[in-house]
Amino acid sequence: MQSQLELTPRMPYYLQIARVLRERILSGKLAEGLKLPTEAELAQSFGVSVDVVRKSQRLLAEEKLLRRIRGQGTFVAEFSSRRESKIAHIILFQNSYASSALLTSIQRGTQGLSLDVNMISCNDLEGEAKRLEAAQAEGRRIIVSSPALDAADHDNSIIYRRILAGGTPLVLVDRHVAGTGADLVWFDYETAMFDATKALLSKNLHEIVFVQPETDYRVLRARREGWQRALFGIGLDYAIHMPLDPAQNPLELGRSVLRELVARNLSPEAVVASSERLAWGIFLALQETGYEKMREKIQALTAIADAPVHDPAFNKIFSGYYRVFADLGQALEQVLEARLSGRAAAGTVLNQPVPCRALTYEEAEREFRQIRE
């Protein structure tokens, strides 16, 4: 039995081994009725302890993918017995920030749990409300949503609480809709901001400006408060929070930022942007006439990036803390596994902050190519 597996410390080993065995069973690589090697043999081939293998097999037995017979060993379950096991349906609502890479990572993570995933795209409050209520009425075992918010600061918290009160687990891929009792998975912007600022300070760049455009004032306010806590005393010179649509033309975004810097008489050595789109727009605007002095002064652009920008000149001064969507898929998988296995008691909120990793342009390009393939 081929068991080569490169384990990552970002996820419990038993979950990684369970996922590999699960995929081999569901794909037919491990045939029905096949007797698996002993726990000791599997532990040696995977390079882990016997306890880790035992825990992974126990999880798969609970999913009715394996049968453990005392005195005989562990066997791949017959299809007839597997078919009787409950399959969870998951609804994912896609809001404006959810990219195809995010969807791909979530699909891969949930496939690792042998779930039947039904994904519906939705980015408005009313549409999300209708689909949430329909999902509950259909008896979906778990519901996953990227919460919708409107310009007036309204959300579907009432429906979230109603779903949870009815006993259906709910996972929100965001943390700005808090206090509902739902499980939360989100990217850890605050730590990324802290790390980015420390990296700039280590290069003796002390005049640092952070720029955040946002149409949603609650998100803006929550992030600003988080960044103020994270960056307190570290040396960030100035934070500009602008009520701009981050989805508009990057060059127009960049021009707005530079006009604001000039209006506030700021000429920073480094700019930390809330996205690679904004950093790209600032870079483009700096190439225009009228900003020569600022262009000479700025030595670094850093951003919380969704994906690499393909421009050699830009990447010479850019460093990104990338939101690697595969990490979010793995975090979501851990939350779902805890719910499905019953390891998480009802009413317990499972929080999973996902790190934004500092990567070189080449590393980020490689990561995103793997996600797309």
Q: What is the pLDDT of residues 198-217, one digit of tens each?
A: 888 888 887 888 877 765 55
CA 83-87-91 angle, to 5 degrees, is 150
* Domain presence at residue 221: yes
Q: What is the pLDDT of residue 195?
A: 86
Q: How many C-beta neighbours within 10 Å does residue 235 have?
A: 13
Residues 263 and 206 in one domain: yes
Residue appearing with tokens 């010179």: 237
265 and 198 both lie in a single domain: yes
Least confident of 283-287, 332-336, 367-371: 367-371
Tokens standing for residue 191: 């730590």
Supply the pLDDT for residue 183. Answer: 94
| Residues 330 and 181 reside in one and the same domain | yes
Indicate the average pLDDT of the chain: 78
Element (H, E) at 76: strand 73-76
Question: What CA–CA distance (Å, rounded) separates 236 from 228?
Answer: 9
| Alpha carbons 88 and 107: distance in angstroms, whole number | 13
Assess whether 227 and 284 both reside in one domain: yes
350 belongs to a structural domain: yes
Residue 371 within any structural domain of the chain: no
Beta bridge partners of 209: 238, 271
Residues 6+ apart with CB under 8 A from 262: 294
Last residue of a domain, one of 83, 102, 117: 83
- What is the mean pLDDT of the segment spanning 167-191? 86
Residues 42 and 75 in one domain: yes
Query: 296 and 193 in one domain?
Result: yes
Mean pLDDT of 78-100: 52
- Smallest CA-to-CA distance from 291 within 309, 271, 308, 277 is with 271
Which of residues 186 and 234 earns the better pLDDT score? Answer: 186
What whole-number distance in Å separates Cα of residue 235 and Cα of residue 237?
6
Q: Is the dihedral of CA 79, 83, 86, 92 positive or negative?
A: positive
Tell whether 73 and 116 lie within a shared domain.
Answer: no
Residue 1 has pLDDT above 60, yes or no: no
| Whether residue 249 sits in one domain with residue 164 | no
**Residue 272 — φ and ψ, nearest 5°?**
-105, 115
Alpha-carbon distance values, 48 to 2, 51, 54, 56, 65 (Å): 15, 8, 11, 11, 21
Amino acid at 306: D
Q: Hey, which bits of 243-350 come out as E strands?
A: 270-273, 300-305, 318-322
Provide the pLDDT for residue 310. Answer: 81
Q: What residue has token string 């979950």?
A: 15
The helix/strand/coil state of 320 is strand
Distance set, CA 336 to CA 139, 332, 339, 353 (Å): 17, 6, 5, 15
**Is 222 a member of any domain?**
yes
CA–CA gap between residue 116 and residue 223 (Å, rounded): 34
Q: Is the pLDDT of residue 354 over 70?
A: yes
- The model carries a pTM of 0.69
In a domain, 78, yes or no: yes
In a domain, 366, yes or no: no
Q: Which of 237, 238, 234, 227 is nearest to 190 (CA)?
A: 227
- Band of pLDDT at residue 83, cut at 50, 70 and 90: very low
Residue 260's domain comprises: 189-322
What pLDDT, on the 0 to 100 scale, is given for residue 121? 65
pLDDT at 74: 92
Pair 101, 73 in one domain: no
Reported confidence tier of residue 304, pLDDT bands at 50, 70, 90:
confident
Q: Check which CATH number belongs to the domain holding 172 and give it.
A: 3.40.50.2300
Q: Does 234 or 180 have the greater pLDDT score? A: 180
> Last residue of some domain: 54, 83, 112?
83
Does 171 map to a domain?
yes
Residue partners of 284: CB distance under 8 A and separation at least 6: 250, 251, 254
Q: Among 108, 25, 9, 31, which Cα is nearest to 59's?
A: 25
Same domain (yes/no): 171, 249: no
* Residue 264 shares a structural domain with residue 290: yes
Burial 61-72 (b: 16+ CB within 10 A, else e): eebbbbbeeeee
> pLDDT, tens digit, for every residue of 18-54?
878 877 876 678 888 899 999 999 988 888 899 989 9
E-state strands within 153-278: 170-172, 183-188, 208-213, 238-242, 270-273
Domain count, the chain: 3
Angle between helices 39-46 and 13-27 (to 10 degrees): 110
pLDDT for res 227: 59
54 in any annotated domain: yes
CATH number at residue 67: 1.10.10.10
Amino acid identity, position 211:
V
Residue 22 token pair: 């699960």
**Same domain, residue pair 60 and 96:** no
pLDDT tens, position by position, 119-168? 666 667 888 888 888 888 777 788 888 887 776 667 889 999 999 998 88
Residue-wise pLDDT tens digits, 218-270: 555 655 666 566 555 555 556 666 666 666 788 998 998 899 888 888 888 88
